[in-house]
Structure 1
């Protein structure tokens, strides 16, 4: 086989993509949009996973790198992939960490499934309730979040807010849970 053989060229391209993917995760954590775009242009897969099963989008959202979140979404990153450990999506990570701008960018993408569940059956609304992200509840409602869903333990977003002592948020969630999405 010669170097001009398309099969060899494709293999070589795949190896370069694999070798460079580790830099994708560092660039996502750092929010380095230029490096992200360069790596993607060189063939690194936008939804590649690191050794812990996180995508670059999950890392960018978790670390509050909203410009990187936007660039990865624009490059076609899936906002609905969960990490390997718990199945948490990029939106869940942003809500957990309180990275509001990253969460807003994810919510602005019509592909983001706000009712996606992790391994424990939790949704983004439940993360918002658990961590007191009241400022994002209306944005979740606008995206048709189903506040009546229960997780594996039977908890709803409302009950999670109440267990955290956040009565005002729980009361708002009680109203929203009576409205059915759609």
Structure 2
């Protein structure tokens, strides 16, 4: 973890900003604007890019992926610029929480994969790139989005160690556990061989 140099008020402010940025449900907003219907009644009912893809609109899915990752990156970069590394990590963590548990949707949000990758890219871009490539390689081989997310999350702390970013290992481990928690239903389906493949409606 980074040395805590910011005062509690500053950390609290960036925690709130991170949460609010993370809580913006871009998938639902884009689905509504582009006339794709209510994501809650489509596929898994999730608000993330994978479920948006099940509508058949690849542009909407790509935009959701970029924006869900971008909101976490923006939280990290703003906090780093105006406060410091301790605030940046906290803002990124809270952006993840905001995406998964948004107050606007009764705390029922997404699973946090794009947000997780976006904040890694902003906190430590080599680790973020390694995690993205891990996700991509698993997706190409297995064609299962949830499995790709779980593998990328599980290996992220390994990449932190190998690439020399020990100061984010604690946060990375916490995020990995949270990714596994938000994917617990997917894990159950994976065990049964019932998990849908990428692009399957």
Alignment TM-score, normalising by the size of structure 2 = 0.32
More helix by share: 2
Greater Cα radius of gyration, structure 1 or 2: 1
RCO greater where, 1 or 2, for CA within 8 Å and sep 6 or more? Answer: 2
TM-score between the two structures when normalised by the length of structure 1: 0.34
